[in-house]
Amino acid sequence: MAAPFKPLGDCRLYTFVDTAFLEGRDPVELARQLCDGGSDIIQLRAKEREPDQVRALAAHLLRVTDAAGVRLIINDHPKVALQVGAPGCHLGQEDFFDAGYRMAAQVTGCPAEMILGLSTHAPDQAGRALRAEPDYIAIGPVFATPTKPTAPPVTLDYVRWAVAHVSIPWFAIGGINLETLDEVLEAGARRVCVVSAILRAQDVARACQAFRQRVACVPL
């Protein structure tokens, strides 16, 4: 039986099953470890896989995430997300606007069948994204990150801008690790996405717990 999802605004730790970081590990077991560690949201990012492969993997992950009350977000593939009944989808600026979408409801359905998150890398992109009425946006990459090596860091200035201008839930992302986390929280972020610092940890669940405990020390 599926457990209830936490309200999006109460979610603090957003993690990933990124197939580029599996290193031979079972993605389903990895999702279980992320859930056990206290992830509120898990994104399936599988850039090198075909939609059918993403669909099959998502179906397996959903059995773990739904049971734990953790939202599974499908990156890049809104049709796959709808087909498997995933709680959400995440799209980049190009994947959303260049595909002809202008409003989130064009992706999520009306009434909405899932939530939608959009990536943003600058205030003008955030403004355009917010006008599309997504459920959340991502702010980053805050620091240089191996997951997007060609993307210039947006710095903590963009985090501070988001604090002042974004009223929906937003997540700081990009190069956030336990050494940089305090800077991000001090700049005003209350929700973070963490990719490599958790996926490259020897103990994924324990790494999640360390991030969760640190973020939970700062009230929403």
* Among 56, 38, 43, 40, residue whose Cα is nearest residue 17: 43
User: Strand pairing partners for 16?
Assistant: 43
pLDDT for res 39 = 98
Strand spans (E) along 53-114: 71-75, 88-91
pLDDT for res 146 = 72
Cβ-contact 101, 129 below 8 angstroms: no
Separation between Cα atoms, residue 153 and residue 137, nearest integer Å: 17
Please provide residue 124's backbone torsions phi and psi, each rounded to the nearest 5 degrees.
-65, -35
* Among 17, 20, 39, residue whose Cα is nearest residue 28: 17
- The token pair at 43 is 């994104």
pLDDT for res 148 = 72
DSSP 28-67: HHHHHHHHHTT-SEEEEE-TTS-HHHHHHHHHHHHHHHHH
Class of the CATH domain delimited by 9-216: alpha beta
- The token pair at 99 is 């595909």
Domain ranges of the chain: 9-216
pLDDT for res 1 = 65
pLDDT for res 151 = 73
pLDDT tens for the chain, 220 residues long, are 678 999 999 999 999 999 999 999 999 999 999 999 999 999 999 999 999 999 999 999 999 999 999 999 999 999 999 999 999 999 999 999 999 999 999 999 999 999 999 999 999 999 999 999 999 999 999 998 776 777 788 999 999 999 999 999 999 999 999 999 999 999 999 999 999 999 999 999 999 999 999 999 999 8
